[in-house]
Amino acid sequence: MLSFAYEALPARVIFRAGALEDLPHELARLGSRALVLATPEQRPLAEQAAGLLGSRAAGVFAEARAHVPIETARAASAEVRRLSADCCVAVGGGSTTGLAKALALELELPILAVPTTYAGSEMTPIWGITEDGLKRTGRNPRVLPRTVLYDPLLTLSLAPALSGTSGINALAHCVEGLYSEAANPLTSLMAEEGIRALSGSLPRIVRAPQSLEARSEALYGAWLGGAVLGAVGMALHHKLCHVLGGTFDLPHAETHAIILPHAVAYNAAAAPQALRRIASALGVEDPAQGLLELARAVGAPTALKDIGMSRSALERAVELATASPYFNPAPIRADGLRRLLENALEGRRPGT
């Protein structure tokens, strides 16, 4: 019998090739002087956005860094005050959106996000700030971007390898959303459609990175993944990736690509209905194996030992991942996690 709670998150979404041109018109709904944020690598794009905004651009701050160091957030907030900005535009991936969220948290600045990766942060009220090597995270509706412009043209420059791993990150939001504690009919529909869109488009992007059709499909899947992540909690996969990334400094997107098939195999017996939906969206019989093959098809790494994890770190990872309780369909047990991590370390078939 159906039983669920669902809360819609308010956001205006514009999706089309060329949506960046809508920036001046869309910004007018949010404020009159925007600070445009980007990473140093994406400064030219931020300047293009500021050029489109003309006098409504207060300035460009192209210092966004991975995991939002508090020093960067403080420097950006000083820029907002100095330039009397009343809103911000985040042009880039999860790191840039993350910086905008830190500003929104402190200064209640409305955000217009222009995502250029598949991370999906633009659809969530989740923020993260790193201080003294520790990343604090939280949920606050204030940090949810008010408007999101999805322009697939801006993703054409995302390198094929990064597209593949960033896309699998988005797929992981959909997969865990299907067996989340808070799963509901609407987010499950979005999750299934997201898996279909991403698994179909990512291998095509790796073969033909300039295919606007495949780019558009992947960005659509990333939007769905972000919306699922924003609406329901995640489980084992995200917990493990957080532990591995935070404690052993493993690269975020690659870690997601490696762990996902193993987390799915771990939950196979406890969440059979969700796994059937994942398999059907992937168009395969065995979802864990299907996800491993997808990782191979996009050229993502499939063994933790290949991205810098050593066998000696395994026990510590098991300890950290079992230290505090969190929801997962299958009970979290040290022996099961040890087997999962050993398989992931060596790149073995999931669930063996």
Binding site for ligand NAD (CB under 6 A): 39, 41-42, 66-67, 92-96, 98, 116-117, 119-121, 124, 126, 128, 154-155, 157-158, 166, 229, 252-253
Residue 229: CB minimum distance to ligand NAD, A: 6
Question: Which tokens in the block code for residue 43?
Answer: 């400064």
> Quick one: 117 or 216, whose CB is closer to ligand NAD?
117
Residue 331: CB minimum distance to ligand NAD, A: 27
Residue 84: CB minimum distance to ligand NAD, A: 27
> Quick one: 119 or 318, whose CB is closer to ligand NAD?
119
Name the residue with the smallest CB distance to ligand NAD. 94
* Alpha-carbon gap, residue 153 to 310, rounded angstroms: 39
The 3-state secondary structure of the chain reads CCCCCCCCCCCEEEECCCHHHHHHHHHCCCCCCEEEECCHHHHHHHHHHHHHHHHHEEEEECCCCCCCEHHHHHHHHHHHHHHCCCEEEEEECHHHHHHHHHHHHHHCCCEEEEECCCCCHHHCCEEEEEECCEEEEEECHHHCCCEEEECHHHHCCCCHHHHHHHHHHHHHHHHHHHCCCCCCHHHHHHHHHHHHHHHHHHHHHHHCCCCHHHHHHHHHHHHHHHHHHHHCCCCHHHHHHHHHHHHHCCCHHHHHHHHHHHHHHHCCCCCHHHHHHHHHHHCCCCHHHHHHHHHHHCCCCCCHHHHCCCHHHHHHHHHHHHHCCCCCCCCCCHHHHHHHHHHHHHCCCCCC
Residue 77: CB minimum distance to ligand NAD, A: 18
Residue 96: CB minimum distance to ligand NAD, A: 6
> Quick one: 228 or 279, whose CB is closer to ligand NAD?
228
> Quick one: 95 or 343, whose CB is closer to ligand NAD?
95
| Phi and psi based region of residue 249 (left: phi greater than 0; alpha: psi -120 to 50; beta: remaining) | left
* Alpha-carbon gap, residue 339 to 318, rounded angstroms: 10
> Quick one: 41 or 213, whose CB is closer to ligand NAD?
41
Residue 335: CB minimum distance to ligand NAD, A: 29
* Alpha-carbon gap, residue 282 to 199, rounded angstroms: 6
Residue 101: CB minimum distance to ligand NAD, A: 7
Residue 105: CB minimum distance to ligand NAD, A: 11
> Quick one: 39 or 343, whose CB is closer to ligand NAD?
39
Residue 120: CB minimum distance to ligand NAD, A: 5
